[in-house]
Structure 1
Amino acid sequence: MTMLIFLPSAQRGYRWIDLTEGAMPREGDGIPTSGAPFVAVAPAEAVTLHWATLPDRSIAQATAAARIVVAEASAAPLGELHVAVGDEGTGERPIGVVAAAQMQEWLAALAAVGIDPVAIIPAPMLLPRPDEGYVRAQLAGEGVVRGTAAGFADEARLTELVTGGTAPTTLDRASLTTALADAVAAPALDLRQGAFARRTRRAIDWPLIRRLAMLGAGILLLTLAIDVVRIIRYSTGADALEARADALGRTGLPRGETVTDVDRQLDERLSAVRGPGAGFTATTAAVYSVVRTLPGVEITGLDFQPNGELRLSIAVAREALATDLRSALQAAGFEVRAGVFQSGSGRVTGEMTVSRP
């Protein structure tokens, strides 16, 4: 069901036609009260119609080209005009030109009575496009004429001038009813374009939102599952490495020893092997490195003490070398305690005790 509401003209006020499917159209005056969608019809004398070959790649390109056509044919400033482009599926496309102020006035008046029309169609565009010549019909009490590339109000002198004396064919009621239904179902030219296009409210698609929420939750759970699996793999790998390290550590302990803490037991065994302090090996190697730098110095005995000190028995060619040895050991980072050196058989002998601080 669709309601046609005819916008007021100089000769009449609002009128309407009820295009209920399967019934003959009903007509009336004034503003109808109906929940059906409304299609407004602009008076023929308020809209100038042109036909021209325009680009069909986009509505923006077609409108830009149509404004050029209108600028050449209109005396009014182009900025004050509203230009709309339609399509009838033929070579030439219809162009509707109406004052922008008039469009604003129509829409404001309709909004004041609670009507937001889905389309605004010029009255001549409600008639079918004839194959040749012209057709005529009475719409809401006013005559309208339509040709293959023309549309205007039916006025005696104007009609004869435009048609060149050819009398338009008058549509019967059945043909007019069919033409109105076709024009409303697929308007060949709708003035509600550009700045005057109907704003549609976007409904919230709750099923889509729920699906997106479920998809997002699934992605989150999958990401979490991947992280959990990765953590388990890392933990399992760390446990395997720790077990392997424990197994290797056990090989360094004495056979038959009860293992309670591999790290601590290995530290204890290493301390027992190398001795206290820096250990016998490290201390002895450092002392011999110093002795090799002093010709005439000889170590005649070593005694590693339980407290980590190393007692040296030393023989030197002269007493000054004993002092040089002590200074060199101290420079190497040892604490040195020297005993009494004695001379005999051309050698100077004595003892020194070295330790790490």
Structure 2
Amino acid sequence: ITFYEDRGFQGRHYECSSDHANLQPCFGRCNSIRVDSGCWMLYEQPDYSGCQYFLRRGDYPDYQQWMGLNDSVRSCRLIPHAGSHRIRLYEREDYRGQMIEITEDCSSLQDRFHFNEIYSLNVLEGSWVLYELPSYRGRQYLLRPGDHRRYHDWGAVNAKVGSLRRITFYEDRGFQGRHYECSSDHSNLQPCFGRCNSIRVDSGCWMLYEQPDYQGHQYFLRRGDYPDYQQWMGLNDSTSSHRLRMYEREDYRGQVAELTEDCSSLRDRFHFNEIRSLHVLEGWWVLYEMPNYRGRQYLVRPGDYRHYHDWGALDARVGSLRRAVDFY
């Protein structure tokens, strides 16, 4: 999540990737926010106190977009992902009185259960957001797994509760069928799904492999939506710190060329059709078999590659080369 002092993502900014109990030293005011991944709860005051605002992935060009009352954001909390959700609500403090259990969103507790007030609750699974008014409006309160014996425990000033919503990380938006979420390296995805026809990359840069154990064709993806498998062939440019040396022969022999930026055609620029060894000095790169970033792709990370087999290629053909970078 990135906080900006001015509207429209302008002015001084601060990037955060985990819970932060006191943002006051980081910026003076907050008028716009960009959430690159995850679900977050913002707090008006330090130490997770004051008005709360729930945000999921997206752009918020001014504080009215997250229903803020002012430009004060003093602490934030990253909400962990959960596969299932279950919560028990009680009519009285200390789990007394009538009890109801909920496993899905409820836009109006009054209409569904004839409840206007909740005095205690127990979150059994998942994280939730409580809203003071029906239809997910009014003050918001984050509820994490655990005991909440009175409304003060979740930061409320009274027992009014109008609606309740589960915190989930992904919505369909045209990406259909069974899905699987991954946040780190995975050497065998076969047990997770049978086929892959669309991909959503929420953050980071990824290399996909056609076969288990990082074998077969490789496909480089950066943050974005890929609605069908033909979409993960072409990418955009960007800048970072990258340096790579290519050699005409194995074991760093023959003519050498050094690159610090993308090259759409090694043939046009260096009269190279083949690369038999290379040394990646800085950054990660993607090699393409053909010019204009087409054909088979190979990820190369900092290190030595004395032979084209070292980067997984079947032959020495390299048509173009691109830095592996991400936008935040």
Q: Tell me if TM exceeds 0.5.
A: no
- Give TM-score scaled by structure 1 length: 0.19
- Give TM-score scaled by structure 2 length: 0.20
Q: Which has the larger radius of gyration?
A: 1
More helix by share: 1
